[in-house]
Amino acid sequence: MAIRTITANKPSGFSLSPGWKEATISKAKYGDYNGNKYIDIYFDKHPEWFNIRVYEAKNTKTQQEFRICNWFRFSHTGIQEVLDNGEGSPIITYDDDASLLAGMSINIFYYESKYISSNGEEKTAIRGWRDPAPIVSEGEHLTYTEQDVNSWKANAENSYRKWLETKQQSSNGTMTSEAAPF
């Protein structure tokens, strides 16, 4: 027998359960993978290894980027100006400096993802979905009601379901995902 010393970890406050939760962004940084622009977003009270990687996506009609933009829009980050386009859709001018996201709150959707590890063992990981939802808030330029938040959550859940169906159809047997908890 020997006397040993360990450092006991304190609870991080990070809940490993699927569903929607409000989180505060701790930092964000842009990157590029094979010519595809993305942003990695990290959160307070989450392990340092937990992030959500969001790849740029453009509207096929307007060619405007929307997926990364929604993280700025829904967290009221970098908004410079909002104009009415005359059809009820806002035209938003914003500063997309990733460092501006730090300290901003947003709703994120956690989901379970099962995978086969390199040693052949089935494991489960909690991940964050790429599409956020705003929190109920009134900003200088944009306001989000409970109805708005619920609508954006439903949009994100539908996006997740479609992605999940695509993944399950193209699965080669090494990755499966659990059904969404809603």
User: Which tens digit of pLDDT belongs to each residue from 26-52?
Assistant: 999 999 999 999 999 999 999 988 999
**For the chain, what percent of residues have pLDDT higher than 90?**
66
Q: Is residue 159 part of a domain?
A: yes
pLDDT, tens digit (0-9, with 9 covering 90-100), for 82-125: 898 888 888 899 999 999 999 999 999 999 988 888 999 998 88
Task: Of 76, 89, 78, give the one whose Cα is nearest residue 136.
Answer: 76
pLDDT at 163 over 70: yes
Q: Is residue 134 part of a domain?
A: yes
Q: Is residue 2 part of a domain?
A: no
pLDDT, tens digit (0-9, with 9 covering 90-100), for 121-133: 998 889 999 999 9
Domain region containing 140: 19-177
Residues 6+ apart with CB under 8 A from 78: 72, 94, 95, 96, 97, 100
pLDDT at 15 over 80: no
Q: Residue 144's pLDDT is what?
A: 95
Q: Is residue 42 part of a domain?
A: yes
pLDDT at 9 over 80: no
Number of domains in the chain: 1
Please answer whether residues 91 and 80 qualify as being in contact, where contact means their C-beta atoms are separated by less than 8 angstroms: no
Cα dist from 15 to 83, 86, 110, 162, whole Å: 39, 43, 10, 25
Q: Is residue 14 part of a domain?
A: no
Token digits for 40?
A: 């990695």
Q: Is residue 182 part of a domain?
A: no
Q: Is residue 1 part of a domain?
A: no
H helices of 15-145, where?
67-74
Q: Residue 175's pLDDT is what?
A: 43
Q: Residue 88's pLDDT is what?
A: 81
pLDDT at 172 over 70: no
Q: Is residue 6 part of a domain?
A: no
Q: What is the mean pLDDT of the chain?
A: 88
C-alpha to C-alpha distance for 16 and 127, rounded to whole angstroms: 9
Q: Residue 6's pLDDT is what?
A: 66
